[in-house]
């Protein structure tokens, strides 16, 4: 389960989580793709150890080379690390006990600092990530240009190095075919929508990551404000469309929700794609007040816990995982 998911998350009927990531690099040190496999890698990790692994701190350091493929995939599925970091032999991650804050080391940049919270909280999540960045900044001199700002391996991150994203469940907007027009109306804010696991991934369970595209020429506070403005509006639009759909198709909506609930609760086996589709319907039904089989955070945890790598210990074959997935879902609803 994701320890950072809490029942009291704001707007949790639609907002799954808020994540803030800050990219930083060491001054005078080549970017990760230039130093992989060299004796410069330990030098990148030195300030990390001084900042987070000193006596009295409760962070842990996990080297990617010490993990099995399944363990790496689990961290990806829990939104703790990226696929790129999982593939890096030199990579590592520093984690807090609740996994709410972390630092990816030797990914695309030397450091990717991250904070994540359940629900909708761009301001609070940004403050948590900025505190992390200040802690590391006491031990590391960041690569910085007075005209451009913070320097990063990818030009699209130059400037603030800041990415703010909120994962939203936009079932009604997707169903009605109005999601793209809703997103395009906010183009002036420089935001984009990605799939559940970032760029190039699909929107499993109708969940979309809404994040900023622009990091240069804006203050960090303005980026946070823009995302907050867009997400608040999307949440309201999603609720409006839900009300319209429910008013005009009450019986059909209730039937879809209750069928999804019945299949999830009583299925003996279920694959990932089926489970995600039914959980999406159930989640919308919970938000509409049609059914309440569990708490919102329990359902969002379930979305992550039914992923193949999370169930790998329950069986080596797809059929065994499908059976274990059905059992896990059933336990959640009891």
Would 7 be classed as within a structural domain?
no
The predicted structure's pLDDT at residue 6 = 66
The answer on 276 and 149 residing in a single domain is no
Q: Which residue has the higher pLDDT, 59 or 4?
A: 59
The answer on 99 and 20 residing in a single domain is yes
Out of 222, 240, 258, pick the residue that ends a domain. Answer: 240
Would 4 be classed as within a structural domain?
no
The predicted structure's pLDDT at residue 10 = 87
User: Could you tell me the pLDDT band of residue 315, with boundaries at 50, 70 and 90?
Assistant: low
Query: Contact, 17 vs 313, CB < 8 A?
Result: no
The answer on 185 and 328 residing in a single domain is no
pLDDT digits (tens, 9 = 90+) for 191-225: 888 776 544 445 567 889 999 988 888 899 999 99
Query: Contact, 271 vs 322, CB < 8 A?
Result: yes
Q: Does position 164 have pLDDT exceeding 90, yes or no?
A: yes
The answer on 192 and 253 residing in a single domain is no
93, containing H or E segment: strand 92-95
The answer on 232 and 317 residing in a single domain is no
The predicted structure's pLDDT at residue 205 = 74
The answer on 263 and 179 residing in a single domain is no
Q: Does position 322 have pLDDT exceeding 60, yes or no?
A: yes
Q: Does position 327 have pLDDT exceeding 90, yes or no?
A: yes
Q: Does position 25 have pLDDT exceeding 90, yes or no?
A: yes
Out of 181, 210, 240, pick the residue that ends a domain. Answer: 240
Phi/psi of residue 102, each to 5°? -160, 165
- Which of 310, 307, 301 has its CA nearest to residue 332? 301
Would 9 be classed as within a structural domain?
no
Alpha-helical segments (H) within the chain: 32-35, 41-52, 69-77, 83-86, 122-137, 171-176, 179-184, 220-248, 250-266, 272-288, 296-305, 318-333
pLDDT digits (tens, 9 = 90+) for 269-311: 999 999 999 999 999 999 999 999 999 889 988 888 898 877 8
The answer on 211 and 179 residing in a single domain is yes
DSSP secondary structure letters along 33-73: HHHTTSTTHHHHHHHHHHHHSSTT---EEEEGGGS-HHHHH
Burial 273-298 (b: 16+ CB within 10 A, else e): ebbbebbbbbbbbbbbebeebbebbe
Domain count within the chain = 2
User: Could you tell me the pLDDT band of residue 169, with boundaries at 50, 70 and 90?
Assistant: very high
Find which of 52-56, 204-208, 263-267 is predicted with most confidence, using mean pLDDT: 263-267
The answer on 274 and 170 residing in a single domain is no
The answer on 76 and 215 residing in a single domain is yes
The predicted structure's pLDDT at residue 200 = 45
Q: Does position 84 have pLDDT exceeding 70, yes or no?
A: yes
Query: Contact, 200 vs 168, CB < 8 A?
Result: no
317-333 mean pLDDT: 92
Domain that holds residue 196: 15-240
Q: Does position 27 have pLDDT exceeding 90, yes or no?
A: yes
- Which of 93, 110, 92, 88 has its CA nearest to residue 40? 110
Dist. CA 29–CA 69, nearest whole Å: 29
CATH code of the domain in which 203 resides = 3.30.590.10
Would 138 be classed as within a structural domain?
yes
The answer on 218 and 288 residing in a single domain is no
pLDDT digits (tens, 9 = 90+) for 105-147: 999 999 999 999 999 999 999 999 999 999 999 999 999 999 9
User: Could you tell me the pLDDT band of residue 56, with boundaries at 50, 70 and 90?
Assistant: confident
Query: Contact, 101 vs 128, CB < 8 A?
Result: yes
Out of 188, 218, 240, pick the residue that ends a domain. Answer: 240
Would 75 be classed as within a structural domain?
yes
Question: Within its chain, how far is the Cα of 178 from the centroid?
Answer: 24
The answer on 255 and 228 residing in a single domain is no
The predicted structure's pLDDT at residue 1 = 59
The answer on 162 and 103 residing in a single domain is yes
């Amino acid at each position: 389960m994701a320890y950072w998911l809490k029942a009291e998350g704001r707007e949790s009927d639609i907002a799954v989580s808020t994540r803030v990531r800050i990219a930083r690099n060491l001054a005078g040190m080549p970017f990760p793709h230039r130093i992989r496999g060299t004796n410069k890698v330990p030098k990148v990790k030195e300030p990390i150890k001084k900042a987070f692994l000193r006596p009295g701190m409760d962070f842990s350091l996990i080297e990617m080379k010490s993990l099995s493929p399944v363990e790496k995939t689990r961290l990806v599925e829990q939104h703790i690390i990226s696929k790129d970091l999982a593939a890096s032999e030199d990579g590592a991650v520093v984690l807090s006990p609740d996994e709410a804050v972390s630092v990816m080391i030797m990914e695309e940049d030397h450091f990717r600092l991250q904070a994540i919270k359940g629900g909708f909280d761009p301001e609070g999540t940004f403050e948590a990530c900025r505190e992390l960045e200040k802690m590391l900044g006491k031990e590391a001199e960041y690569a910085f240009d007075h005209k451009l700002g913070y320097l990063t391996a990818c030009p699209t991150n130059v400037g603030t190095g800041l990415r703010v994203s909120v994962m939203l469940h936009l079932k009604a907007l997707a169903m009605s075919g109005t999601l793209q027009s809703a997103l395009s109306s906010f183009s002036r804010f420089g935001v984009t929508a990605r799939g559940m696991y970032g760029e190039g991934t699909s929107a499993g369970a109708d969940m979309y990551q809404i994040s900023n595209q622009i990091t240069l020429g804006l203050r960090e506070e303005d980026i946070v404000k823009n995302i907050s403005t867009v997400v608040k509006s999307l949440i309201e639009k999603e609720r409006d469309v839900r009300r319209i759909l429910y008013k005009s198709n009450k019986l059909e909506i209730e039937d879809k929700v209750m069928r999804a609930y019945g299949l999830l609760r009583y299925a003996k086996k279920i694959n990932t794609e089926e489970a995600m589709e039914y959980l999406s319907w159930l989640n919308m039904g919970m938000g509409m007040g049609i059914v309440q089989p569990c708490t919102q955070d329990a359902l969002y945890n379930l979305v992550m816990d039914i992923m193949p790598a999370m169930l790998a210990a329950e069986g080596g074959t797809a059929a065994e995982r499908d059976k274990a997935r059905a059992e896990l879902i059933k336990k959640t609803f009891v």
